[in-house]
Amino acid sequence: MAVVSGLAIIPVLFSAPASAEAAEVNYVALGDSFSSGLGTRDYDDSDCKRGPAAYPELWVESHATASFDFVACAGATTDDVLNNQVSSLESDTGLVTITIGGNDVGFADVITTCRIGSNADCDEVGEEAENQVRNVLPGLLDQTYSAITEAAPAAEVVVLGYPRLFELGPCGFGSISETKRERLNAMADVLGDTIADNATAAGLTHVDVRDGFEGNAVCADDPWINGTTVPIDESYHPNASGHSEGYLPALTGAIG
């Protein structure tokens, strides 16, 4: 019995004190509309369309944070991150998340052209944008990632990608043709692969959300991405389900 009693107290002797539990983190959410929550239809009073249904807010709800600075802004480019958002980072920032790059290559304009133009128009602007992705965007991303890691050297920096926007197959009256949808998804893959390569090369944590959104893009029975909407700026952005069911699980799966 003495041996049993001695073994029974081992968990008490070696259990971690409360102070050794996961420390609260200083979290800063950077990026564009896919981080700010444009598309979720519930926003603050700023022009940045930040909302409580955006994945950074949802992550904070279930994690211990010492501070949370939400500076992602709809329409942001890498220049905007460098000039207006990186200043929010501190030496004690522990976590940074970001989506960026789509606006630098005019993805919104490409979608607009594909929505109203011909298949040839769509293919032409898609090819131009892909050339920008391959030849210009890597340098912009490298500069942005370097500025982030310099400003927050102790932080885990998580770069989240973009989903493919469309399902193929039937999509109802007035929808973008399947040919154009396929072309736009191909462009999304070029963009996604470029972001993944640059984030990984920079030593950052990359989170690819493309597979997570599969089956729930525009034209799905249960879409997590808006189609053409009013107001128009919410079109082709993740809705509340896209953030709670797509982005949040992807982020949580990567970092807890």
Instruction: List the catalytic residues.
Output: 33, 237
Beta bridge partners of 156: 95
The dihedral over CA atoms of 115, 118, 122, 123, expressed in degrees to the nearest 10, equals: 160
38-233-100 Cα angle (round to 5): 55
Backbone angles phi, psi at 206, to 5 degrees: -105, 135
Closest among 68, 67, 56, 63 to 160, alpha carbons compared:
56
| Residues in contact with 159: Cβ distance below 8 Å, sequence separation at least 6, in sequence order | 98, 99, 100, 145, 195, 199, 204, 205, 206, 207
**Distance (Å, rounded) from C-alpha 246 to C-alpha 163?**
9
Q: Residue 54 corresponds to which tokens in the numbers above?
A: 């955006």
Closest among 60, 40, 58 to 50, alpha carbons compared:
40
The CA–CA distances, whole Å, from 135 to 75, 130, 132, 162 equal 21, 8, 5, 19
99-167-29 Cα angle (round to 5): 15
